[in-house]
Structure 1
């Protein structure tokens, strides 16, 4: 069965560039091309939600020149690809903290969401200036303010209500989380939402990623027996 929601930690741009004697900026540019390929592949393979970890809240600690290059690539991607995404019925959703973003970046992100809000073929979720711990803290603060205003009783704070306060309130949890480059960690990505996700770690750097790699990950996923805390299908048959 094809997972409805695939989330990808796009890792390995720097290693890809270093292996070729190129600057990190070349790896990031190649990574954008990989993202274009992957969005097309996700649509071809029947994925309904594709979430990509584009820029974490910790990435601001990188050198200023690299951050400027990444921001430039983001703006270029939106300006070049937004019309095509819209034409192909792709809805764009942005996760992450928006306070403090440069006005031109914020304006482009909001434009991408507003232009594509009614599209239904696929949803491309971009985690930008995103950190899962920050998301959880913001959700807890939102609920705490409702309690303080007398709008919510503390005993009514359930997992479902907590999920509804997250950036992903209108997005199903990921069925599959995929990370490239061979690293095997979440890196502060979708910690709450990943409670029952399957994980696939591929030893390919992100700029080399494409349709066949995504198809391979889906094949691995198809062989998993998802239990959600209960008895698996294979065990139940014994």
Structure 2
């Protein structure tokens, strides 16, 4: 009985603390665009004693739907989830990669039927199996008219490749219009490059969160995060709690954002 009361007490205190955090976050301090690097799924599966790391990826995908709910309820407008990098397509075990592709396809399908969310694939389709590309395209089409939370699924994504693809797109369009190399040099601006990124037309992320305690970008949104604030959470991806997210936003709200110094 004592343990049960203790558990209830902790749950009550946790709920009170979480509500206090949420009440302190007014709309004017909430980031408009949050980018998430979910990390630690494999470590979580191993620590939990699962035979395969796919259990961790499934748990991580389920947590990402929760995370999106937290963002939506708090008033965030855009969320970008880093689900599969272009590097992952070559450095992951074949069975793990197959399971991960299936999990991401299922997540895209799930999110496209939930609330009034709009789903968009950001990344390259090069190297992605047709089944995953079809799932991402279907999710985009199904939610194209939705006006709620905008969700970017970064799949087959690499920041360097994104910038390279943007430059190629600019050069190709300029050549098609009959422009010269000299005039192209005059046209190149950060704004023009930004328009040709996978996230063209969207605001840059205000806050980038990474789970598992690792403190690196891993080729994620290299261009867009130039002025972003970063927050690193010790919890492994599937263990992320709403209070962790609220603390990240509270920390963000207290920072004095500086551009260029």
Which residue of structure 1 aligns with residue 248 of structure 2?
A: 217
- Whether the aligned pair in 2 keeps the contact of 1:179 and 1:202 (CA below 8 Å) is yes
Q: Which one has a bigger Cα radius of gyration? A: 2
Q: Verify: 1:179 aligned to 2:210, yes or no.
A: yes
Q: CA deviation at 1:208?
A: 0.7
Match of 1:138 among 152, 161, 165: 165
Q: CA deviation at 1:103?
A: 1.9
- Whether the aligned pair in 2 keeps the contact of 1:135 and 1:167 (CA below 8 Å) is yes
Q: Which runs of 5+ in 1 are unaligned?
A: 231-238
- Whether the aligned pair in 1 keeps the contact of 2:208 and 2:230 (CA below 8 Å) is yes
Q: CA deviation at 1:170?
A: 1.9
- Whether the aligned pair in 2 keeps the contact of 1:142 and 1:165 (CA below 8 Å) is yes
Task: Point out the more displaced range, 72-81 or 173-182.
Answer: 72-81
Cα deviation, 1:39-64, whole Å, max 9, x if unaligned, reads 11111111110111000000012000
Normalising by the residue count of structure 2, what TM-score does the alignment of the two structures yield? 0.83
Which residue of structure 2 aligns with residue 128 of structure 1?
A: 155
Match of 1:82 among 77, 90, 112: 112
Q: CA deviation at 1:33?
A: 1.3
Q: Which structure: greater helix fraction?
A: 2
CA distance in 1, matches of 2:70, 2:229: 20
Match of 2:84 among 52, 55, 58: 55
- Whether the aligned pair in 1 keeps the contact of 2:126 and 2:156 (CA below 8 Å) is no
Normalising by the residue count of structure 1, what TM-score does the alignment of the two structures yield? 0.91
Secondary structure in structure 1 of the residue aligned to 2:68: helix
Which residue of structure 2 aligns with residue 205 of structure 1?
A: 236
- Whether the aligned pair in 1 keeps the contact of 2:63 and 2:238 (CA below 8 Å) is yes
- Whether the aligned pair in 1 keeps the contact of 2:108 and 2:119 (CA below 8 Å) is no
Match of 2:134 among 96, 104, 107: 107
Q: Verify: 1:28 aligned to 2:60, yes or no.
A: no
Secondary structure in structure 1 of the residue aligned to 2:81: strand
CA distance in 2, matches of 1:207, 1:127: 18
CA distance in 2, matches of 1:197, 1:117: 27
Match of 1:161 among 168, 187, 192: 192
Match of 2:101 among 54, 61, 71: 71
Q: CA deviation at 1:104?
A: 1.9
Q: CA deviation at 1:151?
A: 4.2
Secondary structure in structure 2 of the residue aligned to 1:195: helix
Q: CA deviation at 1:21?
A: 1.8
CA distance in 1, matches of 2:252, 2:190: 26
